[in-house]
């Protein structure tokens, strides 16, 4: 075989038949979420994502303007995971809001990489799924009896609380994930460092009353519920004039 001929000229070595395969934006987004879930934020590079899809890095740019836009799409797609109660009835609003809040938190913990992105992308001009959730929350507070001007503030209060606490948890969990330990091993391993730090501040020492026999996850769940209950208490107190 003479080497000066183009090596792909032969019929046999020609790339297998279709080879066109039509990349779609949806494929790209779901592949990106998969990659993020498995390897974390900084592992998402256009090259790596491309090779996951058997495509070159720059091929993605036909369907996505740039990396930032990809991330916006990914974030909104993930918002599609939270499900909204079908109806909004007067008495059930508190349970419904609690459910949405739990879903929002669970979504954040399923995809901890979303926390830093939320800080960048914000919730300002985000896609249809995020708007759907916002609108669903509005519906509940509407049914609860909040006047039109106050509904958005009430909804904003609970989303702020949920996002805030879930962000902390997500950062903490992805830190643990990077370390390769389990959550229990992790808290046990930095116990001495914490003890030393709290030696100068008795208030912090008392604060560390975590019983070693309950799973940290249960503590986190209970903390979340506690705060959410307080927020909802404060909001429903507003309703009873």
Instruction: For residue 145, give both structure tokens.
Output: 């009896």
Q: Rule CB under 7 A: is residue 22 a binding residue for DNA?
A: yes
Using the contact rule CB under 7 A, the part of the chain among 42-50, 120-128, 150-158, 202-210 near DNA is 42-50
User: How far apart are CB 28 and DNA at their closest, in Å?
Assistant: 9
Among 42, 48, 14, 4, residue whose Cα is nearest residue 28: 48
Among 173, 176, 178, residue whose Cα is nearest residue 43: 178
**CB closer to DNA, 113 vs 224:** 113
Q: What is the largest CA-CA distance in the chain?
A: 91
216 alpha carbon, distance to own chain's centre: 20
102 alpha carbon, distance to own chain's centre: 13
Beta carbons of 153 and 88 less than 8 angstroms apart = no
Q: Rule CB under 7 A: is residue 13 a binding residue for DNA?
A: no
Q: Rule CB under 7 A: is residue 181 a binding residue for DNA?
A: no
Beta carbons of 161 and 228 less than 8 angstroms apart = yes
Instruction: For residue 80, give both structure tokens.
Output: 């599609």
Report the partner that residue 63 touches, choosing among a second copy, DNA, none (CB closer than 5 to 8 A by kind). DNA
**CB closer to DNA, 9 vs 86:** 9
Beta carbons of 85 and 99 less than 8 angstroms apart = yes
Report the partner that residue 143 touches, choosing among DNA, a second copy, none (CB closer than 5 to 8 A by kind). none
Q: Rule CB under 7 A: is residue 94 a binding residue for DNA?
A: no
Distance CA 31, CA 46 (A): 11
**CB closer to a second copy, 6 vs 203:** 203
Report the partner that residue 216 touches, choosing among DNA, a second copy, none (CB closer than 5 to 8 A by kind). none
Residue 127, sorted as left (phi over 0), alpha (psi -120 to 50) or beta, turns out to be beta
Chain positions contacting a second copy, by CB under 8 A: 41, 115-125, 131, 134-135, 138-139, 142, 148-154, 156-157, 159-165, 167-168, 170-172, 174-175, 190, 193, 197, 201, 203-204, 206-207, 209, 223, 226-227, 229-235, 237-238
Residues that bind DNA (CB under 7 A): 8, 14-15, 18-23, 44-48, 50, 54-59, 61-63, 66-68
């Amino acid at each position: 075989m003479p080497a000066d001929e183009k090596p792909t000229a032969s019929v046999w070595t020609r790339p297998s038949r279709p080879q066109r395969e039509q990349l779609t934006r949806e494929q790209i987004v779901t592949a990106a979420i998969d990659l993020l879930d498995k390897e974390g934020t900084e592992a998402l590079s256009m090259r790596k994502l491309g090779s996951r899809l058997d495509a070159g890095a720059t091929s993605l740019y036909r369907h996505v303007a740039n990396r930032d836009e990809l991330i916006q799409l990914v974030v909104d797609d993930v918002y599609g995971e939270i499900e909204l109660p079908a109806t909004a009835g007067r008495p059930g609003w508190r349970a419904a809001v609690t459910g949405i809040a739990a879903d929002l938190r669970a979504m954040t913990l399923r995809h901890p990489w979303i926390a830093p992105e939320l800080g960048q992308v914000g919730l300002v001009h985000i896609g249809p799924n995020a708007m759907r959730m916002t609108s669903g929350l509005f519906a509940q507070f509407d049914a609860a009896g909040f006047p039109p001007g106050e509904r958005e503030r009430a909804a904003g209060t609970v989303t702020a609380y949920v996002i805030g606490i879930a962000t902390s948890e997500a950062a903490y969990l992805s830190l643990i994930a990077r370390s390769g330990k389990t959550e229990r091993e992790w808290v046990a391993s930095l116990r001495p460092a914490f003890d030393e730090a709290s030696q100068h501040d008795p208030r912090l020492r008392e604060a560390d009353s975590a019983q070693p026999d309950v799973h940290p996850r249960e503590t986190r769940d209970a903390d979340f519920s506690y705060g959410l209950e307080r927020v909802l208490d404060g909001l429903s107190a507003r309703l009873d004039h």
